[in-house]
Amino acid sequence: MTTIRIAFSPDSDDAFMFMPLLEGKVPARGFAFEASRADTESLNALAERGEIDVVAVSMAQYARVADRYLLLPHGASVGRGYGPVVVSREPRTLESLHHARIAIPGRRTTAALVTGLLVPDFEAVEIPIVPYRAVFDAVKRGEVDAAVVIHEGRLLYEAEGLHAVCDLGVEWHAQTGLPLPLGGNAIRRGLGADVIRQVSAACAESIAWALDHRDAMMEALQAEGGVLDRRGLDRYLAMYANEDTRGMKDDVRAAVAELFKRGATRGLVPSGATPELAP
């Protein structure tokens, strides 16, 4: 039996996608699936080393590993008029962030890329998303002037008394008219066409099962613990585990290409990178 190594983040939307497959809710198609979890930037590093068969990556990072991975046509995290939020201790404008120290969840993340497109001269300070409070504490202590908060953190900053400077998804849509493609699942090219096709189908079935059994999935996710209450979890899944996760729509594919194009123009991702989808 072939073992397929999967790696994804501790965040609710990633667990939502993969739990049905890992818990036997959908057919494994003759594979043994072995899962590990890590923060977003660590996953991006794993993809860079080509060590994992199926890995949840920042869309910006996929541009850097496209020679080793195909992008699965499902499992995307998409912001439609919303996305990571730049927050600060006191109210301030986006323009005031030029030359500012801004915390980012990792240099390979889409959040860092889009921030760099908006504020090309900021000073990046990497603060991993685990533990989630670390970035809030850094802003409150004045160690950074602002921070980009992602995943569940974008729903928690107001309760921490912080102020929104801008929503990256809003700014991206204003400039491009497109949704913001934040992350996706990538599959290693070296697995071969037949295995890729079968594993892709199994992952698609897992996502479909989760979407069709949303209440049961919410109960399972809450049993795991987490930083969001049920209302917050419901809101979070509505944002990042939805029909865009079931299948990548044409405007999302166009948005990925636009993200790569703009990133390459600024020298933030390799020139000529194109999103290539698995069957």
**What was the pLDDT predicted at 279?**
85
Choice among 74, 98, 99, 151 that is catalytic: 151
**Percentage of residues in the chain with pLDDT exceeding 90?**
91
Told to judge if 74 belongs to the known catalytic residues of this protein, a careful annotator would answer no
**What was the pLDDT predicted at 31?**
97
Q: Are 185 and 203 in contact (CB under 8 A)?
A: yes
Distance separating alpha carbons of residues 164 and 158, to the nearest angstrom: 8
> Is the pLDDT confidence value at 129 over 90?
no
**What was the pLDDT predicted at 178?**
98
Q: Are strands 180-188 and 123-126 parallel, antiparallel or unpaired?
A: unpaired
Candidate from 152-156, 164-168, 176-180 with smallest mean pLDDT:
152-156
> Is the pLDDT confidence value at 128 over 90?
no
Q: Tokens standing for 29?
A: 């198609």
Q: Are 186 and 65 in contact (CB under 8 A)?
A: yes
Residue 27 falls in which region: left (phi positive, over 0), alpha (psi -120 to 50) or beta = beta
> Is the pLDDT confidence value at 27 over 90?
yes
Confidence of residue 131 (pLDDT cuts 50, 70, 90): confident
> Is the pLDDT confidence value at 245 over 90?
yes
User: Is residue 179 reached through a cis peptide bond, with omega within 30 degrees of 0 on the bond before it?
Assistant: no
Q: Are 8 and 17 in contact (CB under 8 A)?
A: yes
DSSP annotation string for 188-245: EGGG-HHHHHHHHHHHHHHHHHHHHTHHHHHHHHHHT--S--HHHHHHHHHHHSSHHH
Domains of the chain by range and CATH? 2-78+180-265 (3.40.190.10), 85-176 (3.40.190.10)
Q: Tokens standing for 109?
A: 């993340």
Average pLDDT for 140-144:
97
Q: Are strands 69-71 and 180-188 parallel, antiparallel or unpaired?
A: antiparallel
Distance separating alpha carbons of residues 271 and 252, to the nearest angstrom: 20
**What was the pLDDT predicted at 192?**
97
Average pLDDT, the chain: 95
**What was the pLDDT predicted at 246?**
98
Distance separating alpha carbons of residues 130 and 75, to the nearest angstrom: 22
Confidence of residue 51 (pLDDT cuts 50, 70, 90): confident
Distance separating alpha carbons of residues 240 and 217, to the nearest angstrom: 14
Average pLDDT for 174-181:
98
Distance separating alpha carbons of residues 172 and 43, to the nearest angstrom: 24
Confidence of residue 185 (pLDDT cuts 50, 70, 90): very high
Confidence of residue 106 (pLDDT cuts 50, 70, 90): very high
> Is the pLDDT confidence value at 227 over 90?
no
